[in-house]
Chain A
Amino acid sequence: MKVLVPVKRVIDYNVKVRVKADGSGVDLANVKMSMNPFDEIAVEEAIRLKEAGKADEIVVVSIGVKQAQETLRTALAMGADRAILVVAADDVHTDIEPLAVAKILAKVVEEEQPGLVLAGKQAIDNDMNATGQMLSALLGWSQGTFASELDIDGDNAVVTREVDGGLQTIKVKMPAIVTVDLRLNEPRYASLPNIMKAKKKPLDEKTADDYGVDVSPRLEIISTTEPAARAAGIIVGSVDELVGKLKEAGAV
């Protein structure tokens, strides 16, 4: 079985995000970019499926600016076999919406015929939490979202999902789209020899036009602003003082 893993290049989760003064967006020039943390988990899961003999090839795909190449190389260094870069934007500040990403991914799926797509549950920049579900709808495939456990068993996958009430386990028909949550696994670090080897692994470059997908946005960004700041608080000296303050504020 072939596994397809879409990986997104996003601002590193440790970077403090700065909103541009003119309200046009978030400053992404010269900041550290990394693979979306959820996507590292998806890549790791694909590698584990391969190690367990349940997958034979892992193809990673990224849609965005040319620099997403680095993200794909990271995935190759972790253990993916092959990469596809779909260039759909020139400016690092242009983000492609989940609907357009899903449409491109649907075309890639048509070409590659994977038995499973493993995506992240959300990208930490836009937090939209949508791409996997949209892809699943476009393909008419089953979906298992927010997975914290995944067990592939022939024609079915058993997916344990992290939901508001606790955990839900469902059985989905293959081929399936599974989106991964944080506790599915602990992704490995790429070793230096593997980083070197990754440079020789195949990386195909395509454009959105190659797939005939219109990536023009449906949502127009009117403004991006800083959230309202909280008023400064105080440090209390003792539990007694804390209890006093809370009583004063009517909080207890």
Chain B
Amino acid sequence: MAVLLLAEVTDGALALDATAKAVTAAAKLGDVTVLAAGASAAAAGEEAAKIAGVAKVLVAEDASLGHRLAEPTAALIASLASDYEHIVAPATTDAKNVLPRVAALLDVMVISDVSGVVDGNTFERPIYAGNAVQTVKSNDAKKVISFRTSTFDAAGDGGSASVETISAAENPGLSEWVEDKVAASDRPELTSAGVVVSGGRGVGSEEDFKLIEGLADKLGAAVGASRAAVDSGYAPNDWQVGQTGKVVAPELYVAIGISGAIQHLAGMKDSKIIVAINKDEEAPIFQVADYGLVADLFDAVPELMEKL
């Protein structure tokens, strides 16, 4: 059975980690064709062709497909749908913007954030902020699925898929891009980093958040934040970890000044090792921590940096 996988392409560049993780999940369903779409997407397509397990790559380059606008991208995917039983993507904000639209155009349900593949029709997904795991069986002829990347390993390289160029669908012309505000960073990307250091409201201010960033840099880690820290302006929105932010599962997650609300745990409790630093010994974060340290973060973090 054939699977169409929407590659994560941002400004012409392939997000290799997210795409390769989705390939691992998609390969359980059938032969994987990757779609690289964008204003420029050829280079991303060439890179995707090298992912092991990819059978074919389609490259669609058109100005209307730049900036990942939902309407033209969904129209393109819907126009290709007849050849595929599964239409899938990594569960990024781009895919969550596009896939439900595709599903409705095809009159099928979307299955978001799938964390496990049982068979071609049956999937596991977390619900209620990860407090329950549901196994659902789709009765639709076509399945539209986003995969939670934190639960799949990235497919390796060594593939040599054929690359074919296709044209865009007609642009419905309903929306246009105005601007992106993206903070450039040398740090690893949050959802693929091996180590994540996160700060919460306990950090207290944007200036003091530098302490969290300093520890992250010392560990070569990505920086995360609780919603309270983002809402308070200590950290930008794309650092938020949790039910409504990013889901991460690094080798090491260090939570500093974070209480451990279920909405935050939803985004990090599958991490291999969790360290919590909090001055309140009753904080729920200690219930999921492998190593808890009851301490004032303003003492503990500088000492930790010194001793690492």
Contact = CB atoms under 8 A, between A and B. Distances in A.
A251 B60 CA distance: 42
B288 A126 contact: no
A227 B137 contact: no
5 contacts: A128-B100, A166-B180, A224-B133, A231-B290, A242-B275
A163 B236 CA distance: 11
Nearest to A247: B308
Contacts of B219: 252
Contact of B307 (A16, A158, A243): A243
Nearest to A230: B288
A130 B100 contact: yes
Given A164-B92, A168-B180, A245-B291, 11 more contacts: A99-B108, A102-B104, A130-B100, A145-B96, A146-B93, A183-B230, A219-B109, A221-B135, A230-B269, A246-B291, A251-B252
Interface stretch (A42-50, A77-85, A133-141, A204-212): A133-141
Interface of A: 11, 13, 16-17, 19, 26, 97-99, 102, 121-122, 124-138, 140-146, 148, 158, 161-173, 181-183, 217-227, 230-231, 233-236, 238-240, 242-243, 245-246, 249, 251-252
A137 to B, nearest CB: 4
Place the interface of chain B in its size category: 35 or more
A121 B183 CA distance: 24
Contacts, number: 254
Given A11-B128, A158-B178, A243-B304, A133 B70 contact: yes
A227 B148 CA distance: 15
Contact of A165 (B137, B175, B238): B238
B263 interface: yes
A127 B246 contact: no
Contacts of A168: 67, 177, 179-181
